[in-house]
Structure 1
């Protein structure tokens, strides 16, 4: 990419034309025009306030459930580092915890367990950050973020820091009403008093079930399509004859066919084309129009 703009000074790390493929699960796709790792919330706020208004901003978490297209991501990609991954008990309510948006879901579940709070065990099965889970109302094993979120601290494109309550999130299935360029920096989650051993056992059950049923050790993006009302996406894909289907080095997983795989040399274009072919075949076979759960961003090559 040609970089011809001067961006605001920052206390964090700002790099141009930075590869994103190493940061996403599929290990494919083009570079970020700019990649910004803010030092703290105020650094992020000041940077966004001073950023040219026509420069787009997009948050990147752990890179699961994501296709970065081969032409790369224009604008500024914001990635929250370790300073955004802290966790603490809520100061006023022992049934709540406060999590930095950069914390992995598994870390939040473990912190809740250590504080004898049940109800967040499903986060053990969410392969992204707390911030990403808040943004997309992530869910697994019968629960979603809307079941445990109390509020979220969000930095908007103009640099303002605002608190979004659960009602403000406008949640539905794998959707929130947050602006696309809003960046979640912290979330308050509610649990219920529980037994640490029972909570740990449920987390282990979830981990074991994921290991047995999903291709977790492959280059994948996680669950590809949303479950349509009254259906399981994987079953529709399987019934349409797509298990093992391949385009280039992209393949529908034979272990769990709502997962797409990069067998080693797949481009993002291959992966996305495979997903669209699966959608076409499912529509032809069952009449169901599968919707992507994986986010697809950036420019075509």
Structure 2
């Protein structure tokens, strides 16, 4: 396999552009190779200019909070976009909703809504990601999903800025249909005036539930597999004897066995290989074919800068 190197030209932008940039520090797993190019546009206007000028043949990957992502050891070819908080992290509270930039963390948006006495967005406090990623995968937790609260999302494309609602995005379970090379820049989420004490209590309940049941302080990536129809993925994994299963420094969590862990020094190959072993064991035990919820991107193989 060819070493990861910046061999193709990039358009000039006002923001930051870095060649052969390490990506592992951005991910919750702390694994993976570099980006051929890492671009951090200054603002939405800068992003639109980049998308319009970028060679259509150049691969484009958008990196959010990287909380549900394995970047493979060989790195990511083309351009990796990471939207900085300074240009894309603003949160504006309105009487019946919140407008949040794509780089705003889900938990931060929930806190802004709670501080304003707005109910309906408490579930975001249980999702470890950013608003852009939440829109792109219709994220959900604790009985609610983005589709339940989305008024509109603004999407930057090579042709310009679009404003789309949930129907236009065809939001479904952990899926959204973004336009080709589309990048979420901000979104408006509905909320309603509520009782401040009840809102705070619900958010505390969600935080306590996560702490009690999930390895939130470990190097992990959230739920590894989708829940199959009529099943809980963790229960299938547990029944197949995979709780605590290891491959190198990768491990199935003892606390919640639908979570993979980097116990220290794991490679992306070990994590992905362990996930595939879990899938095989579950299929052999129960006949259920688990599907990845964590995204895996990039090239397999040893990372070379």
TM-score, length of structure 2 as denominator length: 0.95
Corresponding position of 1:166: 166
1:213 and 1:194 map into 2 onto residues whose CA distance is: 28
Q: What corresponds to 1:214 in structure 2?
A: 214
Partner of 2:63: 60
Alignment check: 8 A CA contact 1:56 1:181 kept = no
1:4 aligns with one of 2, 7, 13: 7
Q: CA deviation at 1:2?
A: 2.4
| Cα distance in 1 for residues equivalent to 2:5 and 2:269 | 22
In 2, are the aligned partners of 1:58 and 1:180 still within 8 Å (CA)?
Answer: no
Which residue of 2 is the match for residue 38 of structure 1?
Answer: 41
Q: How many residues align?
A: 297
Q: How does 1:185-264 map to 2 (within 5 A)?
A: 185-264=185-264
Match of 1:272?
A: 272
Residue 147 (structure 1) aligns with: 148
Instruction: Please report how far the alpha carbon of residue 159 of structure 1 lies from its aligned counterpart in structure 2 after TM superposition.
Output: 4.7
Match of 1:103 in 2: 104
Cα shift at 1:265: 1.2
CA deviations over 1:63-91 (Å, ceiling 9, x no partner): 1010001110111111111120101124x
Instruction: Report what 2:129 is aligned to.
Output: 128
Runs of 4+ that moved beyond 3 A: none
User: How many angstroms apart in 2 are the aligned matches of 1:6 and 1:76?
Assistant: 10
Q: Distance in 1 between matches of 2:166 and 2:117?
A: 23
Q: Deviations over 1:72-121 (max 9, x none)?
A: 0111111111120101124xxx2121100100000110111122111110
Q: Is the 8 A contact 2:5 2:19 kept in 1?
A: no
Confirm whether residue 87 of structure 1 aligns to residue 91 of structure 2: yes
**Secondary structure of 2:21's aligned partner:** strand
DSSP 3-state at the match of 2:187: strand
- 1:19–1:31: 8 Å Cα contact kept in structure 2? yes
Question: Could you say which residue in structure 1 is the equivalent of 2:293?
Answer: 293
Kindly report the root-mean-square deviation, in angstroms, between the aligned alpha carbons of the 2 structures. Answer: 1.0
Pair 180,69 (structure 1): closer, same or farther in 2 beyond 3 Å: farther
> What SS does the aligned partner of 2:30 have?
coil
- 1:194-246 per-residue CA deviation (whole Å, 9 max, x = no partner) reads 01121111111101110111111111111100011111110010000000001
CA contact (8 A) 1:109 1:121 kept: yes
Query: What is the SS of the residue equivalent to 1:169?
Result: coil
TM-score normalized with structure 1 length: 0.97
Residues in 2 aligned to 1:160 and 1:292: alpha-carbon distance in whole angstroms: 32
Q: Distance in 2 between matches of 1:212 and 1:195?
A: 26
Q: Secondary structure at the match of 2:29?
A: coil
Alpha-carbon offset, residue 180 of structure 1: 6.2
Given the superposition, is the C-alpha separation of residues 120 and 259 from structure 1 closer, same or farther in structure 2, using an over 3 Å criterion? same
Query: Cα offset for 1:167?
Result: 0.8
Once residues 179 and 60 of structure 2 are traced to their aligned partners in structure 1, the CA distance between those partners, rounded to angstroms, is: 11
Structure 2 runs not aligned, ≥5 long: none
Partner of 2:28: 25
* Corresponding residue of 2:74: 71
